[in-house]
Amino acid sequence: MPHIHPKTTPIYQTSVFAFEDLNALEQYFGQPGQSYMYTRYGNPNTDELAQQVNKLEGGAGAVATSSGMSAILAAVLAVCKAGDHVLCAEDIYGGSSALLSQELTRIGISVSFVPSADIYTLKDYLQPNTRLLLLETMSNPLLEVFDMARLAQETKQHNILLVVDNTFATPVLTKPLELGADIVMHSVTKYLSGHSDVTAGVVVCKEEAVLQRVQKVMMVYGLNLSPFEAWLAARGLKTLRLRMRQHCSNAVAVAKYLQQHPKVEKVWYPGLEEHPQYALAKQQGQGLFGGMMSFKIQDDKEAVNRFMQALPTIPFAPSLAGVTTSISYPLGASHRSLTSEQQQEMSITAGVIRLSVGIEEPEELIAELEAGLAAV
C-alpha cells in the first residue's frame, strides 16, 4: 500500500489502539504523548483540536472535553478539592452557576458569588481556602466586559487563580492568558466550531502542572470528546477569524438598528458607545465587540412570543454562535435555574431577548427583526 499524506487529518474513529508487543506498551507509559492506547486517554483528533486552540490562546497546552460544561468542571476539579472555596462572578451563564452552587457544593467545594461592583476588590469575599475566581470575558447574557489585566493583578495579589470562560469573545478578540489569566476555557460548541453541529469544550492552561491535572481529571472522570466531534470542531476552527469578523460587523449594525427602534427599551452590546465598558471592550477586543447582544422589549411574555412567531426565518434556539442568527430567552432557558430574586438582580426580566448574530447579510437580519418587532 502506498504511503498516504492526507491534507486533512483523518478521523480516527476507534475506541482503542493496538500495540505490537509488551515493549511497545512500556514505551507508551515511559514516553507519554508518543503513541495512543485508548481514546478516553487521548486520540489524534482531540489532540489536534486542543493544539489548535492552544496555539490561538497562547498557553502551555490544552485539553479537549465533551462539552463546555465539562471544560468548566475539569478546570475547577483540577485546582480544587473537598474543603476548598471558589469565587464566581454573579453575572455568569446559568449552567456555570448551577454547577458550582448545586453540584460542586455536594462534594464539599463551597462557592461565593461576587457582584460586578466588587469584582476588582475581592478581599471581603476571600477565605483562607479560596482557590480561584471564575468569570466570563463578556458576561452571559447582558454583555458586561471585564478587565482581564486588572483582574489578574487582583487575583495574583491574593494568590488565587483566575479562570476565564472566553466563549463569547474567542481568542480573535481577547487572549486572557496574555493578560494574566491562569486558565481559559471555551464551549467549543459555540464560536470555535461555529456551525451548531458539535458539542465540545476545551481547557487551556498557562502552567504545565495545571495542564497535567486537567488532563488527569478529563481521563479519570471520562470527560473526553469523541473523535468525530473533534474532527468537526477542528474543521470549523479553520474559518474562525473570517466568521468572527462578519459576526462582529453584523452585530454593530444590528445593535444600532435596535437601539433606535421605538419598541426596544434597551440594548446591551459592548460596541455601542453608551455601553459602560465600551472603551475597555474596544481596547481588549482589538476593535471588535463580538456577535452577541441582548435587548429588551416590554416585560410581557406574550409580546416576546409574538415577536418570536413573527420572525420569518430566525429561530428560537437556546444556544448561540452559529453561522445563522438565532434568538434565545434567558429567563426561560440559559438562566432558568436561578431564583427569581437572582434573575431580578441580574436584570433578566420577561422582556429580555438574547440575540446571536450570524454571518448573513446585515440588511436581511434587520428586515427580519423589523418584521418581528412589528408584531409586538
337, 225 in Cβ contact below 8 A?
Answer: no
Q: Which of 12, 36, 93, 191 is catalytic?
A: 93
Note if 123 is an active site residue. no
Written as one string, the DSSP assignment of 97-110 is HHIIIIIGGGGT-E
10 Å CB burial of residue 371 (0-12, 13-18, 19+) is: middle
Query: Closest Cα partner for 97 from 339, 350, 281, 358?
Result: 339
How far is 258 from 362, CA to CA, in rounded Å? 13
Note if 191 is an active site residue. no
Residue 141 preceded by cis peptide, ω within 30 = yes
Note if 238 is an active site residue. no
> What are the C-alpha distances in Å from 302 to residues 149, 232, 297, 306?
43, 38, 11, 6
And the C-alpha cell for 353? Answer: 431577548
10 Å CB burial of residue 6 (0-12, 13-18, 19+) is: exposed
Q: Tell me the HSE value of 371 on the side-chain side, using a 13 A CA sphere.
A: 12
Radius of gyration for the alpha carbons in the chain, expressed in angstroms and rounded: 21
In three-state secondary structure terms, 205 is strand
Note if 40 is an active site residue. yes
Alpha helix (H) residue ranges in the chain: 22-30, 44-57, 68-79, 94-98, 148-157, 170-173, 208-221, 227-237, 240-259, 278-284, 301-310, 340-345, 362-374
Q: Which of 84, 91, 175, 190 is catalytic?
A: 190
- Phi/psi of residue 314, each to 5°? -65, 120
In three-state secondary structure terms, 63 is strand
Q: Which of 40, 235, 256, 306 is catalytic?
A: 40
Q: Which of 47, 84, 91, 165 is catalytic?
A: 165
Q: Give me the active site residues, please.
A: 40, 93, 165, 190
